[in-house]
Chains A and B, each alone.
Chain A
């Protein structure tokens, strides 16, 4: 089993963010941590669990916790469910928060993987995104993470940002490669409804780069990273050998996971369920022992859809037996260089991944 812990607190809301996270709610943090403990205890009591293979503390901004608080959460998981030897334990870190000694303390408390949300090394881009840190803080943070003795360090990057430009993007990427960051998540900017970014775009204050430009940024990124020995193991994820994120791989392989925290999703035994999203609702629910979980029952056809959707995000693809594809469709896609085929599996090429919605929605049952 894998465990995800959601920390929905932030210093400020970023311009593009529509996640379940809250700025300025720090006063609720102690009560929230207590509620996390209660929820873990509830799940511990209700079933037998296999020991935990990976833990992911995400957000929000989990690095608003002290390293000690993060360590306590990990301890709680160990006590409640047991932790496998060599388990991967990730914490997401905002460069505006933990310094080098905090990172080292976290590692000492059992964190093995530091995921840094730096997003960009360009101050202009960071301002458009309304990140609470600048490029200098991001660089410092990266150096400290690399020096922290964590088993693995990852960065989150965003491309296709208004005003970014291909040259700026590639320069930032080169800098990270020279630093030797072993894991890179590169996300195309997604404009979500009802975000400040969407409003600014709608008002014409900002302009997205042309689709063509974002597409070539993606393909360039794939080329550059592969040339430096990175495996392109999921649409937006690249890793040196031994540094893929096993926790996220678990999501794409549809392994069972337990989500702890407001709005966190769990998945096991053909069910998906999630706790209330609101902080107060979550805290009250756990305190009073009557939180309302949302539940989705996945029938076999839906499960099959998810298998295809998630599998085709990865470089391993899906078993050929899992999909029905018309020969003429296959021919067209193959001609356009969208598919990769091995004896037993079918996967998407980089170009195919760029069009994956189109391909996946065609292949879903």
Chain B
């Protein structure tokens, strides 16, 4: 294959801006997938992804494109995840490319994450092709979207392609731009092998299938290879390309994108961003930018039925096979028995994992309120990681508690600027800077505790900007905070699952709202249930759930029995979604919904 005819590119877009639809059109146009085989959005393979309209795991596909210059090009389309939790994954996918299509919805305009990813792409030296999508929508404001792209990218107006992925308008122009503007891959084919692992998935029969971009040298079946971050060695069992189905090939050369199978069974050995090299002729140094995936948000996952513990364990093991960024270890809760403390990249990542466990493994789970990871400096100077409120040491032994901060980039229409700045200030945000992208759109940067994001910052951002603000973030490290542990007592017993770490100033309001919310969420029981919020041994708020008094079917005679039994069966079914905590039945939703509270916050 003539390397000059290869183009490696990806599509950067915000959720719902039409990335998957554009990918589908490209697949159709290049004949990679026959129209009749197209389930909509072919690249999003998991049901869950398709349902949420987002892409979680990157995918890659090889396309043959007959360009207007008469030559046939080999295009590698690398799909990237579309959510802020997965920015590291995005950056790895970008490194596998020489070019990126920056896709913006004509009605929505540029979103924070798109800007963030566009900057990442620019930093990685990618050629960027700006595209305004959905230009045929009635609500489209094409000139505004074009103006924003020009401001963000510093490009020329004529460079912006107007398209409608839905109708196919402009798709050929996009592919021509890919051929014209994206440089062919460079890289010395005779140098020692350097291949970037930009994704992987687990196949029950073959083990881990790693997606790679060969940067230098070449890779073939039988080669003994090594993963440079871990030093793990392996033999190449198979290499190939995605068409989009896997197709074996004899060798992958510098510039090519494909897959490699080594027989390794654990996805955490083959890490995203790692460099694969020749064991006998290794590259002197690995590719830049590798990072250990680090879970920043933690929550407890417990089976509703204690008997499901082993099933949950197995399911977590299996999920972990496909997702190295997710962590888990056994945890015991007084309230909920045996479960696991799980670490996630962010909230969406957490929800996805939970939904997959329930849906794909048929488990009924209780998920505790998520919290961030804290660094606790002890009196003796030792630093301890705290991943749940129950791990928080006694205050007398603690010198200081540090919490993780993020740098948030927020894009907001100027009419909502005040509301969003108020929100950031309420959430302990520290203003960094502000740029007008256009007269009507502002880029705002704040430093914020990650804890605030885990609470309901994102919901609030959306609600206070009527859905128009968008957010991107990066982690900036741990900083000291004035933090205390808040306990919730239900029927006199502390329920560790509801314990949380809050700022001292917010403890009273938080506790008050927490017990207020729990009073609504916990159904009435057969007895009165007092609820108390406690900080350092002092009750700061209380509520009582009055006992249920009457729940009875007045009549039940010969003709009623089937119907009345079904009513009671339904009631019993409802109980399965409840967790017994002491004597009190608590619905699972309570464990999650209880955290969505905040002073003055509107709830969805």
Contacts and interface: CB of A to CB of B under 8 A. Distances in A.
Contact of B562 (A212, A265, A354): A265
Nearest to A245: B557
A313 B561 CA distance: 12
Interface size of B as a range: 20 to 34
Contact of B550 (A214, A252, A328): A214
Interface stretch (B42-50, B108-116, B234-242, B569-577): B569-577
B569 A358 contact: no
A259 B558 contact: yes
A97 interface: no
Nearest to A265: B559
B568 interface: yes
Most buried by B among A296, A333, A362: A362
Interface in B533-573: 548-559, 561-562, 564-565, 567-569, 571-572
A73 interface: no
B527 A356 contact: no
B550 A211 contact: yes
Interface stretch (A22-30, A34-42, A304-312): A304-312
Given A336-B527, A358-B526, A358-B548, A272 B553 contact: no
A302 interface: yes
Contacts of A360: 568
Interface in B217-246: none
A272 B562 contact: yes
Given A309-B564, A357-B553, A336 B526 contact: yes
A264 interface: yes
A362 B575 contact: yes
B551 A357 contact: yes
B397 interface: no
Contact of A332 (B527, B557, B564, B571): B527
Given A218-B550, A358-B548, A251 B568 contact: no
A257 B561 CA distance: 13
B555 A236 contact: yes
Given A257-B558, A361-B575, A305 B565 contact: yes
A350 to B, nearest CB: 11
Nearest to A217: B550
A293 interface: no
Contacts of A291: none
Given A332-B526, A332-B527, A364-B568, A251 B558 contact: yes
Nearest to A360: B568
B559 A190 contact: no
Nearest to A335: B527
Contacts of A265: 558-559, 561-562
Contacts of A362: 572, 575
B428 interface: no
18 contacts: A188-B550, A188-B554, A212-B549, A214-B550, A215-B550, A235-B556, A236-B555, A251-B557, A265-B559, A265-B561, A265-B562, A354-B549, A354-B551, A355-B526, A355-B548, A357-B552, A357-B553, A358-B571
Top 7 closest A-B pairs, CB basis? A361-B571, A215-B549, A187-B554, A361-B572, A265-B559, A215-B550, A357-B551
Given A302-B565, A354-B550, A357-B552, 9 more contacts: A235-B553, A259-B558, A265-B559, A306-B561, A306-B565, A355-B526, A356-B552, A357-B571, A361-B568
